[in-house]
Amino acid sequence: MKASGVIKFVCFFFVTAGFADDPRTVSLEPPAWMKDVTRLPPGTHLNKRSVKLGYTLDWNHQVNAGAVEIAIVRDSPEGSKLVGEASGSSTGFARALWPYQFTARSIVDQSSLRPVTFQLNERDRDAENSYDIIFERYRQIFTTTSKKKEEILSSTDRFKFDFGQDVLSSAFYLRSQALNEGDEISMVVTPFNRPYLATFEVLGRETHKVKGTVYAAIKVDARIGKVNPDLTINTYDKIKKTTLWLSDDEFRIPLELQSQIAFGFVSARLDEIEWLE
């Protein structure tokens, strides 16, 4: 996996990112794994207070690789929607080798924690891609526009599924649950033009130190698989283990993500939090 892919993988857990490729699927009988997707109603363990969060991405806690900023607000004081906006880029030495940047916007229904729309624009050295996703009750419609040099390509595809999530809504949904030790939550998440199966297993509670601050934390194991056009799941052999820590309080703030890969580990760590209300 290239460093730019690593940066995008880490971003996936916080607002965006990934391994984009052909999104086309065919009409098939639902596979067995779809029956195991969690369909519980939203839990009661999340305070959705408006907040802005900043994360630093690095490799082995030694090489600065990128930065991500996320702001989550209500659409109005009495509004029914949550709006998330994010931006990020590779930085430092990583940016010199693999320039990458993105912006994203998500709208989520506040009561059901289900997504309404998701938009992502990403740019690297050679190309620019835009993804627009509309979430309906039983399907997701995604439009992809790619620009490379002077060529512009656009396509629209659909994925039939009754409980699809985007990256913001999936984070809210996960954090709202009780997250007792041993709990496992699976979701179909579409961060751009391809659905992924994300499975989270709660490993327990512990203290966790992030940039000099010690937090009471919930430790969660994460597994990500790409949904192939034939609805089988493709796992990533180069990604050996991914762990996520959430603050063990009413806010369930993502504190740190570490992913063990073939040549070390990459991480995203909280370094800024600003309450907006």
67-118 pLDDT, tens digit per residue, is: 999 999 998 777 799 999 999 999 988 788 889 999 999 999 999 999 999 9
**Poorest-confidence range of 5-19, 33-47, 150-164?**
5-19
Residue 46's SS3 state is coil
Q: Is it the case that residue 23 has pLDDT exceeding 60?
A: no
List phi, psi (to 5°) of 272. -155, 135
| pLDDT band with cut points at 50, 70 and 90 for residue 38 | very high
The C-alpha atoms of residue 57 and residue 206 are separated, in whole angstroms, by 23
Could you read off the pLDDT of 180-193 as tens digits, one per residue? Answer: 999 999 999 998 88
Identify the pLDDT of residue 7. 52
Identify the pLDDT of residue 16. 36
Q: Is it the case that residue 221 has pLDDT exceeding 70?
A: yes
Q: In the chain, where do the E strands start and end?
A: 51-59, 63-74, 81-90, 100-109, 115-124, 127-135, 139-148, 151-160, 164-165, 184-189, 196-210, 213-227, 233-235, 239-247, 254-261, 264-275
Answer whether 123's CB lies under 8 Å from 112's CB. Answer: no
Answer whether 108's CB lies under 8 Å from 170's CB. Answer: no
Identify the pLDDT of residue 98. 84
Q: How many helices (H) and strands (E) does the chain have?
A: 4, 16
Tokens describing residue 73: 């607000």
